[in-house]
Amino acid sequence: MYNSKPHQEHDLQRLHQQMLETRLAILISHGEHGLLATHLPVLVDTQEGENGTVYAHLARANAQWQDLQNAAEALLVFPGPDAYVSPSYYPSKADNPNVVPTWNYLAVHAYGAVEVIHDPAPLLDIVSRLTARHEEGRSAPWQVSDAPADYLDSMLRAIVGIRLPIARLQGARKLSQNRSVEDVAGVRDGLSASPDHLDNQLAAQMRSL
């Protein structure tokens, strides 16, 4: 992705944290079926491999997995919060009106070749771990084993698993770093006062600059 130097994020721990906080990633690939993208929940194992490894599953009816099994590189996009930045947030505007709107955001791109998984045992492990992750904290968490075995078997036959060892990571952390300290504070305060929760999340990120 295009990412100017002030906004590049290279800290692996921070990149992993963004990935772990993303509930729905976007898997993008190009192959025999053209350019394809699928929105899907993922598991990120930060301890497996140099940059981590991602697990997920696709519907067997989704032709994207057929392209992925040919070992072509795929891209997983982990979008974070984003916010419109109004020029009115900049105190410097009073002295220099040469300002325009922009957008602040967080994003991580993970690249790697995908292994397609058909065996029922690792497939069951993927869906069980995904379910446990999102049921965590509920008073009565549902478990995959709660489903009847024959129904579960039929559901597993309808999906394929994917494993993507991350070969390289790109991170964007665009938080007005190219502006003055006063303007950064103005953006942070403006987003903090917004009724939009995504604006508030960006403001919280800006406090760590």
Mean pLDDT, the chain, rounded, equals 94
Beta carbons of 55 and 43 less than 8 angstroms apart: yes
3-state secondary structure of 152: helix
pLDDT tens-place string over residues 173-185? 999 999 999 999 9
Which tokens hold the place of 206? 């800006």
23-53: pLDDT as tens digits: 999 999 998 889 999 999 999 999 999 999 9
> Whole domain around residue 50: which residue ranges?
5-179
Give the Å distances, CA to CA, from 3 to 108, 168, 171: 11, 15, 8
Q: What is the pLDDT of residues 60-82, one digit of tens each?
A: 999 999 999 886 789 999 999 99
How many angstroms separate the CA atoms of 27 and 44, rounded?
Answer: 14
CATH number of the domain that residue 60 is part of: 2.30.110.10
Residue 140 belongs to some domain of the structure = yes
In a domain, 200, yes or no: no
For residue 5, the model assigns a pLDDT of 86
Confidence at residue 208, expressed as pLDDT on a 0 to 100 scale: 82
What end-to-end distance do the CA atoms of the chain give, in Å? Answer: 22
Total domain count for the chain? 1
**What pLDDT, on the 0 to 100 scale, is given for residue 29?**
95
pLDDT at 117 over 90: yes
The reported pLDDT for the residue numbered 94 is 86
